[in-house]
Chain A
Amino acid sequence: MLTLIGILIVVAGFAARLNPLLVVTVAGLATGLASGLGPVQVVAAFGKAFTESRYVAIVWLVLPVIGLLERAGLKERARAVIAAVPAATTGRVLMIYFAVRQITAALGLISLGGHAQMVRPLVAPMAEGAAENRFGALRAATRFRIRAHASAVDNVAVFFGEDIFIAIGSILLIKGFLEQNGINVEPARLALWAVPTAVSAWLIHNVRLLLLDRSLRREATASPVPIAPAQHEEPAA
């Protein structure tokens, strides 16, 4: 039972909103010690796993170019493009991105999106721009809500699109695990059975985006923000 101490620390630490980095480190060290490893072995196990997972950080290599483009006005341009489309709303912009992201993921093209490459420089400014277009200046809270939804769309669309592609990691993991247990399954049938969930995800999330549009509209008509023309300043953090 002592092995579960790490889970306890994580749940308590995240709930108390302590620095997640600290919580995770303490939980890892405690779990290692509880399982009978010596202090040096625990630190080494930590270092080894950290080193072996460096590949997840490669996405940060896009920061120089994204930063450079932001400096040259990429976000402002993304907003201006949307401002030229009168029919655009936050929900519709996000629905289009959802469809593109889910379909390309189903074709195995999962690198066509991502929070650093697409959401921050393009999708979020477009979603914000569509709202500004309709309702004028946005409150900081509204702006943050739209951004959170832009990120959520990227996640939901890729999670429930990629499993339709037969060579994706999760399908290979399922096949490999079942093989170890003496069961053979067809990757194509696994991928086929991801379709009902993909359709459900599309339906559920698109309804939520329609509701987001409605709630933004209601919010704007109930209490318009009394600031003159749309300011594209970043809200104070």
Chain B
Amino acid sequence: MITLEHVYWLMGVLAAGVAWVNARDASNPKRWNNAAFWGLYAATFLAGSWLPHAVTGCLVIAMVAVASIGKLGQTTRESQTAAQREASAARWGNRLFLPALTIPAVTLLGTFVLKTATVGGAPIVDPKQVTQISLALGALAGLAVAMVMLRPPAAAPLHEARRLWDAVGWAAVLPQMLAALGALFATAGVGKVVSTLAERWLPLGTPLAAVVTYTVGMALFTMIMGNAFAAFPVMTAGIGLPLVMTRFGGDVTVMAAVGMLSGFCGTLMTPMAANYNIVPAALLELPDEYAVIKAQIPTALLLLAANTAIMYAFVYRQ
């Protein structure tokens, strides 16, 4: 059976390869920092499942030290000039889209087919991890199509992955770090403290005030936690269920559905949701790491107001 562990081996090999390419590239003045960073990252994939968690924690702290104190660099070498790329684009035309579209096509196919596929009664992939494994298969299929079609040098995929991953830099690891922070927040009971404070200090005497506190609270707490899924249980147990539902007789389905979506408005506005907001800014090589958040704030605020109006209009009507 294929499990996530196999995908992690693949990730480990990719990260180790990127570390290796970096180590050999004299054009990058920080090449040893880059090599150490991606090498440590590779270790968390290859050995993370059986290393003691404290050791993995030390590896992670070492990565942070390399990236924040030592800083990462980038190669100055371009594999192809702009003119070469233009010529290649003209030569291949729309066929270039084929490998790119293979990724989502195979990912989707995988999620549908592999969920129930079995060999001799045993499932081919772990049914709980179908989505992630399908994404990995989609990436491999896209790579295979591109290699057959374009026939680049064998090391080209690794060099190109290195170029992109170094452009993203430390931001590539931030989502995992934030997940770790969220876990520590949960252990320390940060959510309970926040909802106790909210109950004590906010005016919640009217049905409208309860709705506004719940939707705005979902957005704010999501901004702190970086994740609406972490905010939802805390805010719903603290404000939604006791006030909107029990005290003022609101409909729990409307409240929960629109409440979660209010949290998503918060996700659009916070650097804590790194994989949506900070990673894309790095991936698109934007000088301002908050540029994506800034583009999203007007929509997020208007939509939060819309959510509050929708909830107030319908939650007490059922």
Q: Which residues does A use to contact B, with CB under 8 Å?
A: 1, 3-4, 6-7, 10, 14, 18-22, 24-25, 27-28, 31-32, 34-35, 37, 40, 42-77, 80-81, 109, 111-113, 115-122, 124, 144-145, 147-152, 154-156, 159-160, 163, 169-170, 173-174, 177-178, 181, 183, 185-186, 189-194, 196-197, 200-201, 204-205, 208, 232-234, 237
Contact = CB atoms under 8 A, between A and B. Distances in A.
Interface in B264-318: 264, 267-268, 271-272, 274-281, 283-289, 291-292, 294-296, 298-299, 302-303, 306-307, 310, 314
A81 B316 CA distance: 51
B173 interface: yes
A230 B171 CA distance: 31
| 5 residue pairs, one from A and one from B, having the closest CB atoms | A67-B160, A73-B89, A47-B57, A47-B56, A35-B188
A23 B270 CA distance: 14
Nearest to A119: B280
B306 A197 contact: yes
B306 A204 contact: yes
B154 to A, nearest CB: 11
B1 interface: no
Interface string B32-58: 000000000000110011011111111
Nearest to B163: A67
A155 B88 contact: no
Given A6-B190, A63-B164, A151-B280, A81 B257 contact: no
A121 to B, nearest CB: 6
Contacts of B53: 44-45, 47-48, 51
Given A72-B150, A151-B284, A193-B253, A31 B54 contact: no
Question: Taking chain A's interface residues, is the majority helix, strand, or loop, or is none over half, making it mixed?
Answer: helix
B99 A63 contact: no
Interface in B94-135: 94, 96-97, 99-100, 103-104, 107-108, 111, 129, 131-132, 134-135
A57 B174 CA distance: 10
Contacts of A80: 89-90
Contact of B94 (A10, A77, A181): A77
A47 B54 contact: yes
Contacts of B261: 159-160, 163, 194, 197
Interface residues of B, number: 141
B163 A69 contact: no
B208 interface: no
Given A152-B295, A196-B258, A204-B302, 16 more contacts: A24-B178, A50-B179, A58-B11, A66-B100, A66-B164, A70-B160, A71-B79, A73-B96, A111-B135, A122-B97, A152-B299, A159-B264, A159-B267, A190-B256, A197-B261, A200-B306
Contacts of A185: 252-253, 256
A196 B312 CA distance: 13
A77 B135 contact: no
11 contacts: A6-B181, A10-B272, A20-B289, A46-B61, A53-B180, A61-B11, A61-B140, A71-B88, A111-B108, A148-B281, A237-B285
